[in-house]
Amino acid sequence: MPSSIRAIWTIFAKELSSFFTTSVGYTVILGYVLTTSLFFLLILKILSEVSSIPPTQRPLSIFYKDYLILFIFMFFASILSMRLFAKEKETGTIEMLLTVPVTDWEVVLGKYFATVAFYAVCISPSLINSLVLFRPEIAHNLMKTIILPTLVFLPLIIVVISWVSPKRTWPVLAAVLAGIFVFVVLLRGFHFDRITQRIAFIPDDQIDSDNDGMSDVWEDMYGLDPARKNAREDPDGDGDYNFKEFVYGSSPVDPGSNLTTLIVKTVQPENVLRKGDEDRDKDGIPDKYEKWLGLSAEDGSDALADNDGDGDSNLLEWRYNTDLTDAAKNLESKFRGHLPIKHIVKKDFRDKDNDGMPDRWEESYGLSSSEDDGGIDEDSDGYSNIEEYHYRTDPTLSESRPSLPESKAWFLHIASYILAAGLFVFISYGYSARQEDRISYLLKYGGVSCIVLTAVIACVFIFLPSSVKTGRIYSLFLFWGFVPFFAAVTCTLSRLALLSRSRLNAAAVSIFLFLVFRLFWAFFIAEKAVSQPDVGITLSGYTGGLLVGAFFIAVGIFFSSLFKNQINAAVVMFAFLVILFLTQFIPSVIPSAEPLKPILDHYSFIRLLAQFTDGNIHLGNLTFFISAIVLFLFLTVSVLGIRKWK
Amino acid sequence: MIRVKNLSKNFGPVKAVDNISFHVREGEILGFLGPNGAGKSTTMRIITCFIPPTSGTVSVGPYDIFSHSRNVRQIIGYLPENAPLYPEMRVYQYLAFRAGLKGVPESRINERIEAVMDMCNITDIRNKINGHLSKGYRQRVGIADCMLHEPRVLILDEPTVGLDPLQVKETRKMFQDLRQKSTIVISTHILSEVEMTCDRALIINKGKIVAEESIKDLTEEKEVIMAIEKPEGSTLEEISTAIQSLVQVAELKKSEEEGEYRFEISCKGVKDARNALSLKAREKGWRILELKSTFASLEDVFQNIIEEEDGTDVNSIVGT
């Protein structure tokens, strides 16, 4: 029926635009982007502590398996949907809405779809985050694109809103946020680079330009050629080829360091003993096992002896669970060269002091591996140790420094100070001056100067010799080119908005542009830097996130139709969602509810989400969500039908 | 056009509307009159299908509010009390949204909006934000919204509240123009408004209709006030007997002040008693100091009716 589609569309368009003409939309988007970004940083930190993402662990599932993200979803769904009917009742507009020739279903569906669409807009920027996780090796590059834009653009956008919004609360918020930002910038200089590098350190070391499985850093360290495939070669002739030595962390150029020696070295009494195990003779095998293995609990020398004479010590055989008394069963026969990686410490990338530089690299240049010396400039050539590490230059020789001296420090610092100073001026004017002419004057020249800056950056980039245009420089320029470009766009839009007097719409447009740019940009870098991310699984995961959100919103719209006050509605609907979430723990608290456990487990949000994030869209799960949504929409329509309020 | 039959609405134990029946003819302007809380708004909400009645039926044109609720809403333009608007929208944007909801064809939306904005004199505030409008402007935007889809029935709950006297006058004129096309129901507790705008008034109190008459009928009784110089030789009694013989008097109030007699004469059946009185005065040689005719105002009628109904003093209500 075209007429009902038109009615739904009219309500949909109005509701969606009212998210942006009231402060709700901005608040939710900014809040959501901030929370998920912070949350994402935590996850990235966790991930950076393991050497690589296990193949069974999908990046999104790490994100979604955490209960916290569900609460974030619930919270934002409540905020978004609380106003739908409760506010109409508060202001009395419900009477206008329900006395026009549209049906209750049309009203409910229009409002519902608008909220779900807005919710989808909210979660889409986080696509970038999952993209980062798919390709840990570009985590570092993208970290810059997430932290910096958030910190740079947030105050900028709020400043713009403060000009265009009629309310006085925004300028105060903007001034506070921007003040914090400028303070941080001036205090620390622009050292975000270093911070991000530390958080995302290990993925950066997996850059492997010849694609032979061994990282460039590692090959460099041992004087192998990082640009040639040499994984199968064995330069030291110790029987283990380079890739194997890379994986297990022995030296490819030292015949005395191969897998066997490494294992023997690693499996030492002091290394294998776990906390809490009683071991009187300090030989590495706990007392409770010694008797069972036929060894003495008092004699410390029997661990390193070899009872069956197969070449592996008792300790080693116990550790890897082979027979101590059978010479035919030793490590070699059990693993046939494929030792489990988790038992071996990856010595090369161990970073005791957590300063972003591996101990081995530090030791080879005589730097301390036990204190954080990343920021120190050992040879006083203007580059800190960590910067030299990333450019593979010698931190102790001032002649050896990054090959593009001006590119980084010069550019970064000048640009950051210009930006900071510009922000100061903009903010102080935006806060103090409410006169439109002064603002439009500022916007005009701010816009023009930003365009000039963009052009200058673009020119510098174009005329750079192609030999230095590496991925790192590429993203650096992209980023610093985008900041003034975006500022120019924002200024221009805001000025147009001032002229056309539809200010809030323009603010909405600039926020959208911001989101789209951010998305587009990340994809662009991802395309440049690495191969394709797994699109299917990402989309499946997001379908799950969207469905859960859509369900929460359906619950929200129902509660909104029950209450006359927005806050009451939000509180009750959030409580309801939390209780719904907690039902899955009922069997573990009340033993008599045990028979319910399979059902509750089957429909727990966490499990449902996990299925989606693993790339499985089950028809059953889809049906469950859709019928639950339809149920709550039906309840909403029924509530409207009763219309008991006066 | 509108037929209301045995309509009742209870809110819990409270009977907001108690078994009322009336009908509104096509092209008529009906004034819905009553003190606050009399049940005017509830009746209007039922007619516009916003709330269902407890019992009774309403039909608007050929449609019943139960079986053809959507058709009813299609031919009604409704302005709720206080003209609620979405505060964040702009006037033009708001009207466009409402036109879309009311099913005005896409190609005519612009034309209709311009027309209603012109009628309500809000063309120059088209880009203002609803929330920033003054009460009078909001009311006018609300009225403009009602007329967007050229409804056959207009139901306006206190449409002139918050308008300044000039705007009230304009609005009244607008209603007179609109009656060619629409039937209009106006609720108000301002009596003069009904008197000036409506053809017929429906007085409602405590959920019941207490009077249903045309304005002419309601105010038919006339009163003549005559003051004459105390004539020598004639007593007050004599003169009043003379007056009573002259016209059919329903009620005669007489009073004596220094040097003058004052009579307040309610006549029955006679259009204007002044002519007869002045002739009599000339004949008798009375010196007339004052001779004027007054209509019994709706205020008095309303007051009388409501006082009769519940025996309370309603001066406070009428005074508003």
- DSSP per-residue codes, B61-111: TTEETTTTHHHHHHHEEEE-TT----TTSBHHHHHHHHHHHTT--GGGHHH
Calpha distance A178→A171 (Å, rounded): 10
- Please name the amino acid found at residue A254: D
Mutate to test the interface with B, among A17, A26, A100, A105 (most CBs of B within 10 A): A100
Residues A227, A106 share a domain: no
Residues B191, B68 share a domain: yes
Backbone CA torsion sign across B104, B107, B108, B110: positive
Min Cα separation B294/chain A (Å): 42
Mutate to test the interface with A, among B88, B106, B146, B154 (most CBs of A within 10 A): B88
Residues A227, A109 share a domain: no
Least confidently predicted of A137-141, A280-284, B42-46, B163-167: A137-141
Q: Chain A contacts of B76, Cβ < 8 Å?
A: 99
A233, part of any domain: yes
Min Cα separation A95/chain B (Å): 7
ipTM above 0.90, yes or no: no
Q: Tell me, what's the pLDDT at B318?
A: 43
Q: Tell me, what's the pLDDT at A404?
A: 41
Q: Tell me, what's the pLDDT at B114?
A: 92
User: Beta strands of A65-187 (E only): which ranges?
Assistant: none
Calpha distance A300→A268 (Å, rounded): 12
The DSSP code for A242 is H
Q: Tell me, what's the pLDDT at A110?
A: 93
**End residue of a domain, out of B159, B193, B217:** B217
Which comes out higher in pLDDT, residue A263 or A638? A638
Residue contact B76–A93, C-beta within 8 A? no
A336, part of any domain: yes
Distances (CA, A) of A28 to A31, A35, A176, A220, A507: 5, 10, 19, 48, 15
Q: Does B80 touch chain A (CB under 8 A)?
A: yes
Residue contact A93–B145, C-beta within 8 A? no
Residues B87, B15 share a domain: yes
**End residue of a domain, out of A343, A367, A382:** A343
Q: A128 with A522: CB under 8 angstroms?
A: yes
B70, part of any domain: yes
Give the pLDDT band (50/70/90) at residue A57. very low
DSSP per-residue string spanning A82-109: THHHHHHHHHTHHHHHHTSS--HHHHHH
A412, part of any domain: no
User: Mean of the pLDDT values across residues A198-224?
Assistant: 60
Residues A526-531: contacts with CB under 8 Å, at least 24 apart: A526/A131, A526/A135, A526/A138, A526/A142, A528/A471, A528/A474, A528/A475, A529/A135, A529/A137, A529/A138, A529/A141, A529/A471, A529/A475, A530/A135, A530/A137, A530/A138, A531/A135
At A574-612, the pLDDT tens digits run 899 888 888 888 887 777 877 888 888 777 887 787 777
- Residue B226: phi and psi, rounded to 5, are -130, 135
A396, part of any domain: no
Min Cα separation B85/chain A (Å): 6
User: Of A383, A399, A404, A361, whose CA–CA distance to A220 is shortest?
Assistant: A361
B317, part of any domain: no
Min Cα separation B75/chain A (Å): 9
Number of domains in chain A: 2
Q: A7 with B97: CB under 8 angstroms?
A: no
Q: Chain A contacts of B80, Cβ < 8 Å?
A: 92, 95-96, 99
Q: Where does residue B107 rank: exposed (0-12), middle (13-18), buried (19+ CB within 10 A)?
A: exposed
Residues A220, A130 share a domain: no
Which comes out higher in pLDDT, residue A340 or A175? A175
Distances (CA, A) of A100 to A90, B103, B104: 19, 9, 11
Q: Tell me, what's the pLDDT at A196?
A: 36
The DSSP code for A629 is H
Which comes out higher in pLDDT, residue A142 or B272? B272
Q: Tell me, what's the pLDDT at A52?
A: 45
B304, part of any domain: no
Number of domains in chain B: 2
B170, part of any domain: yes
Residue contact B51–A643, C-beta within 8 A? yes
A79, part of any domain: yes
The separation between the first and the last C-alpha atoms of chain A, rounded to the nearest angstrom, is: 32
Residue contact A100–B101, C-beta within 8 A? yes
Q: B168 with B143: CB under 8 angstroms?
A: no
Calpha distance A403→A413 (Å, rounded): 18
Strand partners, B183: B153
Q: Does A14 touch chain B (CB under 8 A)?
A: yes
Q: Chain B contacts of A92, Cβ < 8 Å?
A: 80-82, 84
Range of the domain at A299: 216-343
Distances (CA, A) of A222 to A226, A233, A249, A360, A539: 10, 13, 12, 11, 42
**End residue of a domain, out of A343, A358, A391:** A343
User: Mean of the pLDDT values across residues A171-186?
Assistant: 54
- Residue A553 predicted with pLDDT over 80: yes
B154, part of any domain: yes
Please state, rounded to an integer, the average pLDDT across all residues of chain A: 67
Pairing of β B2-11 and β B55-60? antiparallel
Backbone CA torsion sign across A114, A118, A121, A126: negative
Q: Tell me, what's the pLDDT at A558?
A: 92
Give the pLDDT band (50/70/90) at residue A495. low
Mutate to test the interface with B, among A26, A99, A105 (most CBs of B within 10 A): A99
Residues A131, A6 share a domain: yes
B165, part of any domain: yes
CA atoms within 13 A on the CB side of A7: 19
Calpha distance A207→A201 (Å, rounded): 11
Min Cα separation A520/chain B (Å): 31
A489, part of any domain: no
Calpha distance A51→A15 (Å, rounded): 47
Residues B163, B278 share a domain: no
Range of the domain at B88: 2-217
User: Of A494, A539, A487, whose CA–CA distance to A514 is shortest?
Assistant: A487
At A389-445, the pLDDT tens digits run 666 667 777 766 655 433 444 555 455 555 555 555 555 444 444 444 556 666 667
- Residue A194 predicted with pLDDT over 50: no
Q: Tell me, what's the pLDDT at A634?
A: 92
Pairing of β B14-24 and β B29-33? unpaired
Residues B136, B90 share a domain: yes
Q: Tell me, what's the pLDDT at B99?
A: 92
At A333-357, the pLDDT tens digits run 665 544 443 344 344 556 666 666 7
- Residue A40 predicted with pLDDT over 90: no
Q: Does A604 touch chain B (CB under 8 A)?
A: no
**End residue of a domain, out of B217, B249, B269:** B217
Q: Does B101 touch chain A (CB under 8 A)?
A: yes
Distances (CA, A) of A181 to A175, A423, A424, B181: 10, 10, 10, 64
Please tell me which of the candidates B52, B81, B97 has its beta carbon nearest to residue A10.
B97
Q: Does A638 touch chain B (CB under 8 A)?
A: no
Q: Does A1 touch chain B (CB under 8 A)?
A: no
Residues B188, B73 share a domain: yes
Q: Does A500 touch chain B (CB under 8 A)?
A: no
Q: Tell me, what's the pLDDT at B178?
A: 83
Q: B209 with B17: CB under 8 angstroms?
A: no
Calpha distance B318→B320 (Å, rounded): 5
CATH number at residue B190: 3.40.50.300
Residues 6+ apart with CB under 8 A from A496: A506
B212, part of any domain: yes
User: Of A233, A195, A563, A535, whose CA–CA distance to A386 is shortest?
Assistant: A195
Q: Which residues in chain B come in under a pLDDT of 50?
A: 313-320
Alpha-helical (H) ranges within A294-435 are 314-319, 331-335, 359-364, 385-390, 409-432
CATH number at residue B268: 3.30.70.3100
Residues 6+ apart with CB under 8 A from B61: B1, B72, B75, B152, B153
Q: Tell me, what's the pLDDT at B212?
A: 76
Residues B246, B190 share a domain: no
Give the pLDDT band (50/70/90) at residue A538. low
Q: A89 with A564: CB under 8 angstroms?
A: yes
Residues B193, B269 share a domain: no
Q: Tell me, what's the pLDDT at A411?
A: 53
- Residue A4 predicted with pLDDT over 60: yes
Residues B231, B200 share a domain: no
Calpha distance B52→B215 (Å, rounded): 30
B65, part of any domain: yes
Calpha distance A22→B85 (Å, rounded): 14
- Measured between CA atoms, the residue of chain A closest to residue B148 is A100
Percent of chain A with pLDDT over 90: 5
A385, part of any domain: no
At A12-37, the pLDDT tens digits run 988 888 876 666 676 677 667 666 65
